[in-house]
């Protein structure tokens, strides 16, 4: 117990301070996004999202205390057990879950609901970190690689079954962790190429044109390079693969994706085609942010993001409120806070003495980064609308608690980094 008593001195107070600033700013903006000037509301009103968020924040405090009190070895020891439990919970969701906003992701107990997928993030991070940190693990071993991708692939598939594409995609951010721990950059580049082809396919509606272009490049490559049988074979197979991807993109778009997801991707390419239809969110979000100017319209003075009939206004589109009411300067502060936090988390990760803690730190950074990049990217029209929250800013209990746990387990591990044996 003596060891636990002085933990406050070892806790990384820079991260804690950033955390407090972010959730407080988030709370004010949630109020701004639901504020109705004619209704005489209070930020503490429990019928408003802001009042409930305050309760979630108070609950976070209890979670933080629990994380700090629990022995640090607990997290690594039981990582696989948690992983098993959360897989089971995710498996149950499509069966007993209730539908909220087009996604079946909630498990309800009475009037309280929780989203297991939010908690799957930190649990998967722990499991992945434990596996990477295990004795004899080698990143270039194919068997290890397969298990690693399996670890993130299974929860991803289960969440996809809940039709929650956004959260499922978050798990792809683990590839960055693998990269840091020694995986070949080839996979990373392959992924980026696939995404580029995907978007190209959408941009150019006539696929024959694309196939023609690929054939032309293929002939060009064969013509200018050495005419060795093996090289030509690889090039032809590569070209066929790319053509296959193009065909499958079309198939995925029209047959696999739900209409509302198709619309979101189409809106990315041409949001002006139907500004009142599926492009509505992106258009309104850009108008709101764009009308903020340099200094913004002022707290509670926004005109574009009021009336809470667009349910995402305090959750996924919270950045609109920031952009509209606090302008470019406010955006600078929020983005600055995120970049600072991410750098701090990377710094903490790098100073860990064992591989488990370091990998976990990287996983935390990657998950935060993915949410940050995709959420803000979608509100300013750089990414398709993928419904994932902005950490610490978006309204919601499960997501706030998920991110809080994610961060504070790292801070707990960091506080005890001197006590662990080096195991690289």
**d(C-alpha 26, C-alpha 22), whole Å:** 6
For other proteins, which is the closer residue by CB, 28 or 401?
28
For other proteins, which is the closer residue by CB, 154 or 287?
287
CB of 345 to other proteins, least distance (A): 10
**d(C-alpha 279, C-alpha 378), whole Å:** 12
CA within 13 Å, CB half, 244: 6
For other proteins, which is the closer residue by CB, 376 or 405?
376
For other proteins, which is the closer residue by CB, 164 or 181?
181
Structure tokens at 304: 């574009």
CB of 357 to other proteins, least distance (A): 15
**d(C-alpha 184, C-alpha 399), whole Å:** 32
Q: Which helix (H) or strand (E) holds 350?
A: helix 318-350
Structure tokens at 268: 């990315």
CB of 194 to other proteins, least distance (A): 18
**d(C-alpha 275, C-alpha 292), whole Å:** 20
Lay out the sheet containing 103-109: strands in order across: 98-100, 103-109, 112-114
CB of 335 to other proteins, least distance (A): 5
CB of 190 to other proteins, least distance (A): 17
Strands (E), 87-206: 98-100, 103-109, 112-114
The H-assigned helical ranges of 134-173 are 142-161, 165-170
**d(C-alpha 298, C-alpha 309), whole Å:** 22
Structure tokens at 12: 């990384």
Residue 112 φ/ψ, nearest 5 degrees: -90, 140
For other proteins, which is the closer residue by CB, 153 or 377?
377
Structure tokens at 418: 């001197």
For other proteins, which is the closer residue by CB, 60 or 285?
285
For other proteins, which is the closer residue by CB, 6 or 36?
36
For other proteins, which is the closer residue by CB, 103 or 304?
304
Q: Residue numbers of the site for other proteins (CB under 8 A)? A: 36-40, 47, 176, 179-182, 276, 280, 284, 286-294, 297, 301, 303-304, 306-307, 309, 323, 327-328, 331-332, 335-336, 338-339, 342-343, 346, 350, 362, 365, 369, 372-373, 376-377, 380, 382
For other proteins, which is the closer residue by CB, 18 or 89?
18
Alpha-carbon separation of residue 150 from 87, 94, 157 (angstroms): 12, 21, 10
CB of 270 to other proteins, least distance (A): 17
CB 418 within 8 A of CB 19: no
How large is the angle between the packed helices 318-350 and 13-34, nearest 10 degrees?
Answer: 170
CB of 110 to other proteins, least distance (A): 23
CB 68 within 8 A of CB 7: yes
Sign of the alpha-carbon dihedral angle for 289, 290, 291, 292: positive
CB of 331 to other proteins, least distance (A): 5
CB of 40 to other proteins, least distance (A): 5
CB of 241 to other proteins, least distance (A): 26
Angle, vertex CA 100, rays to CA 96 and CA 103, nearest 5: 80
Alpha-carbon separation of residue 129 from 41, 135, 337, 349 (angstroms): 45, 12, 26, 12
For other proteins, which is the closer residue by CB, 281 or 398?
281
CB of 294 to other proteins, least distance (A): 5
For other proteins, which is the closer residue by CB, 29 or 201?
29
Structure tokens at 5: 């008593």
CB 392 within 8 A of CB 403: yes
């Amino acid at each position: 117990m003596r060891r636990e008593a002085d933990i406050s001195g070892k806790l990384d107070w820079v991260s804690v301070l950033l955390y407090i600033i972010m959730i407080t700013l988030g709370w004010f903006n949630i109020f701004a996004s639901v504020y109705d000037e004619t209704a005489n509301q209070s930020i503490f009103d429990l019928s408003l999202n802001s009042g409930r968020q305050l309760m979630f924040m108070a609950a976070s405090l209890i979670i933080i205390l629990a994380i700090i009190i629990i022995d640090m070895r607990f997290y690594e020891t039981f990582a696989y057990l948690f992983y098993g439990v959360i897989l089971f919970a995710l498996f149950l969701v499509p069966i007993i879950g209730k539908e909220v906003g087009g996604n079946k992701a909630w498990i309800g107990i009475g009037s309280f609901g929780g989203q297991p997928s939010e908690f799957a993030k930190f649990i998967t991070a722990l499991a992945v970190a434990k596996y990477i940190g295990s004795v004899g693990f080698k990143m270039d071993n194919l068997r290890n690689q397969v298990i690693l991708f399996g670890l993130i692939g299974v929860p991803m598939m289960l969440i996809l079954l809940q039709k929650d594409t956004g959260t499922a995609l978050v798990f792809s951010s683990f590839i960055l962790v693998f990269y840091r721990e020694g995986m070949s950059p080839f996979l990373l580049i392959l992924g980026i190429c696939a995404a580029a082809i995907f978007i190209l396919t959408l941009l150019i509606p006539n696929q024959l044109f694309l196939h023609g272009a690929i054939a032309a490049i293929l002939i060009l490559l064969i013509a200018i390079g050495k005419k060795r049988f093996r090289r030509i074979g690889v090039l032809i197979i590569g070209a066929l693969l790319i053509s296959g991807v193009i065909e499958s993109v079309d198939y995925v778009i029209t047959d696999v994706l739900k209409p509302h997801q198709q619309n979101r991707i189409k809106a990315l390419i041409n949001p002006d085609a139907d500004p009142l239809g599926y492009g509505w969110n992106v258009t309104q979000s850009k108008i709101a942010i764009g009308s903020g100017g340099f200094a913004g319209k002022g707290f509670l003075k926004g005109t574009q993001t009021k009336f809470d009939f667009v349910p995402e206004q305090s959750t996924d589109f919270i950045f609109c409120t920031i952009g509209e009411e606090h302008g470019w300067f406010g955006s600078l502060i929020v983005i600055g806070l995120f970049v600072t936090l991410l750098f701090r988390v990377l710094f903490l990760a790098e100073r860990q003495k064992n591989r488990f803690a370091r990998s976990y730190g990287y996983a935390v950074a990657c998950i935060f980064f993915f949410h940050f990049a995709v959420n803000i990217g979608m509100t300013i029209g750089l990414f398709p609308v993928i419904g994932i929250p902005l950490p610490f800013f978006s309204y919601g209990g499960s997501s706030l608690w998920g991110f809080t746990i994610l961060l504070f387990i790292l801070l707990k591990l960091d506080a005890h980094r001197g006590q662990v044996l080096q195991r690289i």
